[in-house]
Amino acid sequence: MRRKKTTEDRVLDTIISVILFIVVFVTLYPFYYILLITLNAGTDTAVGGMYLWPRQFTLGNYLYFLEDPKWISSFGISMLRTIVGTALGVLFTGIVAYGLAKRDLIFRKSYFLIVVVAMNFSGGLIAFYIVLKSLGLINTFGVYVIPGMLNLFFLLIAITFFTEIPEELGESARIDGASEVRIFTKIILPVSMPLLATMSLFIGSGQWNAWLDSAYFVQDEGLRTLTYRMMQVINQTMVPSGEAQSAAMSRSSVTPFSIQATAMVVSIVPILGVYPFLQKYFVSGMMLGSVKG
């Protein structure tokens, strides 16, 4: 039987609802405002005073973005590095973690010491550049994905995760003649979806948002990432090249600020599109129904 709400309960519910509304509004409005800027003429946005809806609705910002080959190329490079970098990062980090999770591994403590030292100490940017140059990765697509193939932070998390998986799962498969590769791919990975989803989301977000490697280690304009182009706009170092682009920007009422906002919206869409599909794995049971009685 439900208890009838008192006046105090109603007042408390109202206060909580108001506070939650304010929190949600403060959180979501900046995103809405950026979207608003992209749907309004850039020259009109510069005047100010626009808060709720576009005064001069236009898709010119998106059209200008799509017609600029540099933005399209940068978007493609960012998508490619995110897909390849995430796949390689999750795969190799998972493989190494599975090996280090074996308690009978020779020199296991030494490997852990190397991981801990590498996490806390770095040779610096110059040493990193020299290593990349010696490997022939400078000014290549490989500089985006190869250095991130092993994520030390998630390596430790994955080791802990694999250690907690009952050994009976692997032992029963070994009795049936399964190899370590088959055990890892057919048994360990399927019960590790929460871990893999979390790793994919964070590694993918890191790959998508990275721009320092594009700024320091790449000179080929065809390999520039979307976030690097955005930083150019933010720092006001990217200007329309040539009279044709200047005229196009003038005719469409596009401004550098409106292009910057458009690039932000475009960069957010892939993450928003992927997150709902990975979220369900965060709360799913890790070992539900995987151990035989």
Please tell me the predicted confidence (pLDDT) of residue 249.
Answer: 52
Please tell me the predicted confidence (pLDDT) of residue 2.
Answer: 64
**Residue of higher predicted confidence among 277 and 247:** 277
Alpha-carbon span 279 to 51, nearest angstrom? 32
pTM for the whole thing? 0.75
Q: How confident is the model at residue 90 (pLDDT cuts 50, 70, 90)?
A: very high
Give the DSSP H or E segment for 97. Answer: helix 69-100
State yes or no: pLDDT of 283 exceeds 60. no
Contacts (Cβ under 8 Å, ≥6 apart) of 248: 64, 67, 240, 254
Tell me what the mean pLDDT of segment 23-32 comes to: 91
Write the pLDDT tens digit of every residue in 148-177.
999 998 898 888 888 888 887 778 888 878
Q: How confident is the model at residue 256 (pLDDT cuts 50, 70, 90)?
A: confident
Q: Percent of the chain scored above 70 by pLDDT?
A: 87
Domains and CATH numbers, the chain: 7-59 (no CATH), 62-282 (1.10.3720.10)
Closest Cα to residue 184, out of 105, 111, 292, 102?
102
In the numeric block, the tokens 């998630």 are attached to: 154
Alpha-carbon span 13 to 228, nearest angstrom? 46
State yes or no: pLDDT of 281 exceeds 70. no
State yes or no: pLDDT of 87 exceeds 80. yes
Highest mean pLDDT among 48-52, 215-219, 238-242: 215-219
Q: How confident is the model at residue 238 (pLDDT cuts 50, 70, 90)?
A: very low
In the numeric block, the tokens 């309004």 are attached to: 40
Tell me what the mean pLDDT of segment 184-213 comes to: 87
Cβ–Cβ under 8 Å, residues 35 and 52:
no
Alpha-carbon span 185 to 105, nearest angstrom? 20
Closest Cα to residue 100, out of 90, 115, 88?
115
